[in-house]
Structure 1
Amino acid sequence: MKTLKRLKKNKDFQVVFDKGKSFANRQFVIYVLKQPGQPYTRLGLSVSKKMGNAVMRNHIKRYVKEIFRELSDRLELGNDCIVISRLPVRTMSYQEMQGSLIHVLKKAGAMSGNKGD
């Protein structure tokens, strides 16, 4: 996947929040809504102002987008996912974020469990 398909409109976010299922660990909350017939996975991000200034929030969003881009071949197709970051993410390294996102994606059933971690 060259570019990530993104959820950008408030209406799209509200549909996922209302109809999707949520899964969480200490670092992330993920809402997943299965969209039958959609040939790709879309990603929406939410990083609160409590996380820090704009530089810190953009840093976290860049890391999450990159992790999803790397995992794109392992993600189940046809899902809309919203990732909400929690406070512990501020101090995490890229590898720790990746491990935490993989954990919660598997928990949500949005990612296949094989192909070595």
Structure 2
Amino acid sequence: MPGFDKSGRIRSRAEFTQLSKTGKRLYLKNFILIYNDASTSVSRLGITASRKVGNAVNRNRIKRLLREFFRNNRDSFPLADYNIIARSGATALGHAALFQELSNGVSRVGRHSDR
């Protein structure tokens, strides 16, 4: 199983801000996916889960599941920087439902990047 090292993460506020300003947005039922052409040679992931999503336990659970999805499906992500923003309904999703929704979103990103 591939790891999720620091080179695969968006970490600084400046990077999140830049991605938010220049990135394309894809609105899913429980997530907002912001993506932009990669500034490095690997796809990178940033996760945003505000207090609107729920308490710390729920936010951390969502972040763990999102990281796991990214690790396991990194090859299906087109080369880009991604910020996945969790919406309040995301905490009610089970493992399979969350993975299904994100898989559909990633395939839509792939179709948009082919244009």
- TM-score above 0.5, yes or no: yes
Instruction: Choose from 15, 20, 28 the match for 1:17.
Output: 20
Percent identical pairs in the alignment equals 27
* Structure 1 unaligned residues grouped into runs of 5+: 112-117
Q: How many residues align?
A: 110
Is 2:59 aligned against 1:43?
Answer: no
Residue correspondence of structure 1 range 53-68 to structure 2 within 5 A: 53-68=55-70
Deviation (angstroms), 1:110: 7.7
1:45 to partner: Cα distance: 0.4
Q: Map Cα deviations across residues 46-70 of structure 1 (whole Å, 9 max, x no partner).
A: 0110111111100110000001101
| Contact residue 28 and residue 104 of structure 1 kept, 8 A | no
Return the TM-score normalized by structure 2. Answer: 0.87
**Structure (1/2) with the larger helix percentage:** 2
CA RMSD in angstroms comes to 1.9
Query: Contact (CA 8 Å) 1:33, 1:80: kept in 2 or not?
Result: yes
Q: Deviations over 1:25-54 (max 9, x none)?
A: 111100000026x22100000011011111
| TM-score normalised by the chain length of structure 1 | 0.86
Unaligned stretches of 5+ residues in structure 2: none
